[in-house]
Structure 1
Amino acid sequence: MRIEKKATLISTIVAFLLVTFKLTVGIISGSVAVLASAIDSLLDTVISLFNYFALHNSDKEPDEHFNFGRRKLEPLAAVIEGTIISLSALFILYTAISKMVQGSVIEHLDLSIWVMVASLIITAALVLFLNMVAKKTGNMVIQADALHYKTDLLSNGAVLISLLIITFTDYTFIDPLLGIGIGIYMIYSAYPIIKEGVLMLLDAALDPESVSKINKLLNSQLDISGHHDLRTRRSGSNIDLSVHVVFNVSTSLYDAHMVGDRIELALKNLFPENNVYALIHLDPYDDSEGEHLDQEH
């Protein structure tokens, strides 16, 4: 089993345990902040299960129905995850504002505090693990999961602080106020997840730094006289690119093919954490101007 799949299974188990504890205590105590954290953990469970499904199916080999594989499931999972986070944040905002208007009473503060302390420790350990996996694999789904649990870590800490303040001051208005803050922060954290996933689904080009690295590598090749029409995209943990490389007209097909293979290997080594699929067109002369004329007509 891939380490990414193991990570999503661990995330699911941890999220299920946290939602059980938080939801029980949130209902008993009446704390909006604890209840908001419980709802977030419930969504974590659903999201982690969906992420496992996405990773499991994205690994399948290309077939007659999906000639290029199913790697787009990874950014699709990220977009769905970000959307669910945003919707849960809106629910938390609604609940918190209602509590603020109607007034709130919190009971069993000691129990709520101990649950949040335990949640803080467990979530911190999970974030460290997911960060390690994300750094090792570069997987977008795990990166989104790690970012999500980082927001959980911050919200758990904030909830714990608010409960401690209420314990010593009886300022119960802090609870719904913090719920509003958590909701806003969840929406803020979900935006980059949704944005990156949508861009990947739309086949956006690689970032300028990566494109610059590719161009630098191509410019260093002494066996070609030039290159043009570089196109790039990212699909999950895969990088797809195509480029036209220009040879001298007297270069044999065999020699050009060998150079093309060497360039393809160099491109793969340029991004060792990704699966690079390079389509290299072997041009016997620079036909870029002709291509532009064809496109104009």
Structure 2
Amino acid sequence: MTLQKRATVVSTSVAALLTLMKLVIGIASGSVAVLASAVDSVLDMFVSIFNYFAISNSEKPADKTFNYGRGKVEALASVIEGTIITISGLFLLYQAGRKAIDGSVSQYMDISIVVMILSMFITIFLVMFLNKIAKKTNSMVIKADALHYKTDVYSNAAVLISLLLVNFTGYEIIDVIVGGAIALFIIYSAYELIHDGVLVLLDRAVDDEIVLGIEKVIRNNDRVNTYHLLKTREAGHQTFVEVHLVFDCIITLMDAHRATDDIERRIKKLDEKRDWVINIHMDPYDDFSMDEK
């Protein structure tokens, strides 16, 4: 089992545990804040399960149907995950408004506080684990999962503070306000997931720092006269690079090929964690500038 799959299995298991803890206490206590956290954990569990299958598909090799592989499944998963998070945030806003109107009172405060303390520490350890895997694999799905659970840490802390304040003051409006604030924060946090996923689906170029590094590698090769049509994009764990290199028309094919091999090797050293797919077209003259004329 790959590191990415292992990470999704761990996050799914943790989400299931947190869901059981929070859902029972949330329903029993009547706390909007705890129930909000419980609903978020339910969604976490299903999202992590979805991520497992997304990663399984993205890791499949290229074939006759998918010539470039299925790496964009991860970006699609990120968009779906962000959408689900947004919907959950809207649902929690509804629950907060409903409690504000009904004026119901929270119960079982002591056990609710204990559950939220445990949930917060469990989630902190999970975020640390997911961040570690994300750095090793550069997986967009795992990065999204880590970001998602990081927002859970903040929401768990807010719920805990809310429960403590309600317990000591008796003001239920605090629970409503905190529950509503968590819902808004959840919606806000989903924007980055949807934004990044959509950009990958639209074949956004890689970071400027990487592009500048690629250009520097090309310019530093004295056999290359110039270059054009440099294109980059990412899909899952793969980074695609395409470029046209212009050589002297009298250079031998062997020498030109050696130069491109050297360039490919140096590009891959820019970030050895990436899975590079580099396609270089060799030109005997700058046909791009001629086409422009």
Letter in 2 for 1:143: K
Q: Are positions 1:265 and 2:265 aligned together?
A: yes
CA contact 1:104–1:173 (8 Å) conserved in 2: no
Structure 1 stretches of 5 or more lacking a match? none
Structure 1 window deviating more from structure 2 (62-71 vs 23-32): it is 62-71
Partner of 1:103: 103
Structure 2 counterpart of 1:95, which letter? Q
What TM-score do you get using the length of structure 1 for normalisation?
0.97
Residue pair 2:133, 2:142 contacting (<8 A) in 1 also: yes
Moved more, 153-162 or 259-268: 259-268
1:238 has 2:238 as partner: yes
User: How far does residue 19 in structure 1 lie from its aligned partner after superposition?
Assistant: 0.3
In structure 2, C-alpha distance between the alignment counterparts of 1:84 and 1:245, rounded to whole Å: 45
Question: Where in structure 1 do 4 or more consecutive aligned residues deviate above 3 Å?
Answer: none
Q: Shift of the alpha carbon at 1:292?
A: 2.7
User: How far apart, in 2, do the equivalents of 1:291 and 1:215 lie?
Assistant: 22
> Which letter does structure 1 place at the counterpart of 2:150?
K
Give distance in 1, aligned partners of 2:157 and 2:151: 10
In the other structure, the counterpart of 1:120 is: 120
In structure 2, the residue matched to 1:16 is 16
- Counterpart CA distance in 2 for 1:123 and 1:224 is 52
Tell me how far apart the structure 2 counterparts of residues 213 and 97 of structure 1 sit (CA, whole Å). 52
Taking the TM superposition and a 5 Å limit, the aligned residue runs for 1:1-297 are 1-293=1-293
One-letter identity of the residue aligned with 1:30: G
The Cα of 1:236 is off from its aligned counterpart by 1.2
Indicate if the aligned counterparts of 2:113 and 2:163 stay in contact, CA closer than 8 A: yes
Contact 1:225 1:248 survives alignment (8 Å): yes
**When the two structures are superposed, what TM-score results if normalisation uses the length of structure 2?**
0.98
Question: What percent of counterpart residues are identical?
Answer: 52
CA distance in 2, matches of 1:264, 1:104: 65
1:149-195 deviations in Å (ceiling 9; x for gaps): 00000000010011011111111111111111001111111101110
Cα deviation for residue 266 of structure 1 reads: 1.4
Bigger mean CA offset, 129-138 vs 71-80: 129-138
Report the Cα distance in structure 2 between the residues aligned to 1:213 and 1:181, rounded to whole angstroms: 42
What is the CA RMSD across the aligned residues, in angstroms?
Answer: 1.0
Deviation at 1:290, TM superposition (A): 2.1
Task: Work out the CA distance in 2 between the residues paired with 1:220 and 1:189.
Answer: 42
Q: Per-residue CA shift, 1:71-102, capped at 9, x if unaligned?
A: 11110111111110000000001111111122
Does structure 1 conserve the Cα–Cα contact (< 8 Å) formed by 2:221 and 2:259?
no
Structure 2, unpaired ranges of 5+: none
